[in-house]
């Protein structure tokens, strides 16, 4: 990614979200299947899958109530879809090729003869019961990895880069830490080594906390905005409200009984923007994740809901962290001092405007562009 970004020096502005989508899609798909779709190999940053993810999400209300429409789309020939919209040609081809990639993994990875061991090859060689290794079950997991992972990770990376460019003091501190621990920018250390860098970790955690900050980028799929609904099927829930202890306007403690079978949900942004947990919640402040000695503390970890919690916790969170650590570290070393951003927002673009399963800004929101310049 950094080589391609540096090659863009002097070529003008380009869409940040699309560029980072190329990187995350190639990285995550190659890790899962052992082969890359090659979005970073093309001349520019388009086409990419960002627009397709957005198109799928904006139709979620329709396909939720008429699920047969979604299933029918899988039977439409790619040539017809290409006629409808040439913009979706390469991204749809990427999606259509997923079953073929999975079949190759099953054919080679399942025999133990693969030289590279992507995720699905490891699953086939694991001690999971046979019903968990059927092609149909793997296909469901494959769609989750190919659709959910790249765009949400690209959005986080885009958000982090925006704040680093806009706040040079944070960027400088990050660069100093990474440069002090990485002797050769061409040879990044392993992810576990990068995880030990406290300020790099703080920057990534703060980026995840503000991942839903759609003032910077149109989000097409972002789990942290969803309502995270859960249903207690076997018991009534007892919810305790302690707000009266703080303001005295209510009883010290109010207990509510939520009948079993009731769907209960919330949005992660309600927690991520809670001033009692994160003072000045709209500010990008990595220091909130560090103690007075500048080391990582875990006091706020329980309040980070970007990957959800509980039984529906994101199964790909470690891969997302790996991509973010490697991506942010390399950008800090090689590209960040040469990046400029151009804000294309208008008044009101930072407000909730629509809801397609998650909160979204208005359709005309442009996010930001970036360019690479000589230093």
pLDDT tens, residue by residue, 161-208:
999 999 999 999 999 999 999 988 888 899 999 999 999 999 999 999
Sign of CA dihedral 314, 319, 325, 327: negative
Residue 214: predicted pLDDT: 43
State residue 231 phi and psi, 5-degree precision: -130, 120
Quick one: pLDDT at residue 87? 53
Among the ranges given (82-96, 119-133, 168-182, 258-272), the one the predictor scored with the smallest mean pLDDT: 82-96
**pLDDT average, residue stretch 78-94:** 62
**Between 90 and 214, residue with greater pLDDT:** 90
Residue 158's Cβ-side half-sphere holds a number of Cα atoms within 13 Å equal to 33
Tokens representing residue 263 in the block? 């769907």
CA 357 vs. chain centroid, Å, equals: 16
Average pLDDT, whole number, for the chain? 79
* 368-372 and 339-343 beta bridge pairing: antiparallel
How much of the chain, in percent, has pLDDT values that exceed 70? 73
CA distances for 10 relative to 20, 126, 341, 372, angstroms: 19, 49, 14, 6
pTM: 0.82
The 10 Å Cβ neighbour count of residue 290 is 17
Burial 315-326 (b: 16+ CB within 10 A, else e): ebeebbbbbbbb
For 115, residues 6+ apart whose C-beta sits below 8 A from its C-beta are none
> Do residues 234 and 260 lie in contact, with contact meaning Cβ atoms separated by under 8 Å?
yes
Report the Cα 331 to chain-centroid distance in Å: 17
Please state, for a pLDDT cut of 90, what percent of the chain lies above it.
28
| Predicted confidence (pLDDT) at residue 119 exceeds the cutoff of 70 | yes
E strand map for the chain: 14-15, 230-231, 237-241, 254-258, 263-264, 339-343, 354-355, 359-360, 368-372
Is residue 88's pLDDT more than 50?
yes
Return d(Cα 332, Cα 172) in angstroms, integer.
9
Q: What is the C-alpha to C-alpha distance for residues 265 and 229, in angstroms, rounded to an integer?
A: 4
pLDDT of residue 183: 84
Summarize pLDDT for 351-374 with one digit per residue, the tens: 555 555 455 555 556 667 889 988
Mean pLDDT of 142-164: 84
Name the token pair of 79. Answer: 């040539």
């Amino acid at each position: 990614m950094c080589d391609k970004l540096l090659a863009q020096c002097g070529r003008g502005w380009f869409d940040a979200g699309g560029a980072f989508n190329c990187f995350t899609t190639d990285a995550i798909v190659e890790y899962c299947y052992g082969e890359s779709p090659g979005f970073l190999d093309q001349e520019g940053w388009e086409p990419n899958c960002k627009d397709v993810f957005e198109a799928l999400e904006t139709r979620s209300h329709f396909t939720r109530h008429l699920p047969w429409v979604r299933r029918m789309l899988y039977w439409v020939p790619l040539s017809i879809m290409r006629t409808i919209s040439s913009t979706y040609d390469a991204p749809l081809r990427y999606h259509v090729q997923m079953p073929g990639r999975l079949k190759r993994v099953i054919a080679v990875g399942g025999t133990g003869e693969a030289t590279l061991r992507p995720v699905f090859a490891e699953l086939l060689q694991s001690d999971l019961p046979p019903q968990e290794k059927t092609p149909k079950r793997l296909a469901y997991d494959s769609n989750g990895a190919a659709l959910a992972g790249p765009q949400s990770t690209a959005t986080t990376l885009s958000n982090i880069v925006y704040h680093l460019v806009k706040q040079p003091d944070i960027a400088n501190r990050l660069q100093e830490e990474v440069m002090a621990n990485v002797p050769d920018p061409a040879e990044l250390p392993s992810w576990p080594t990068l995880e030990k860098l406290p300020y790099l970790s703080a920057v990534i955690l703060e980026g995840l906390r503000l991942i839903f900050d759609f003032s910077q980028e149109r989000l097409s799929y972002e789990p942290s905005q969803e309502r995270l609904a859960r249903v207690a099927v076997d018991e009534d829930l007892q919810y305790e409200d302690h707000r009266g202890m703080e303001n005295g306007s209510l009883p010290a403690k109010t207990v509510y009984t939520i009948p079993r079978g009731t769907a209960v949900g919330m949005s992660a942004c309600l927690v991520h923007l809670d001033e009692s947990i994160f003072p000045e919640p709209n500010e990008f402040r990595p220091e909130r994740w560090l103690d007075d000695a500048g080391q990582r503390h875990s006091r706020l970890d329980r309040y980070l809901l970007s990957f959800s919690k509980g039984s529906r916790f994101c199964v790909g969170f470690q891969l997302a962290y790996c991509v973010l650590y490697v991506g942010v570290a390399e950008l800090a070393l090689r590209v960040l001092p040469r990046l400029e951003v151009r804000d294309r927002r208008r008044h009101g673009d930072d407000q909730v405007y629509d809801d397609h399963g998650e909160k979204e800004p208005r359709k005309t929101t442009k996010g930001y562009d970036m360019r690479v310049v000589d230093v």
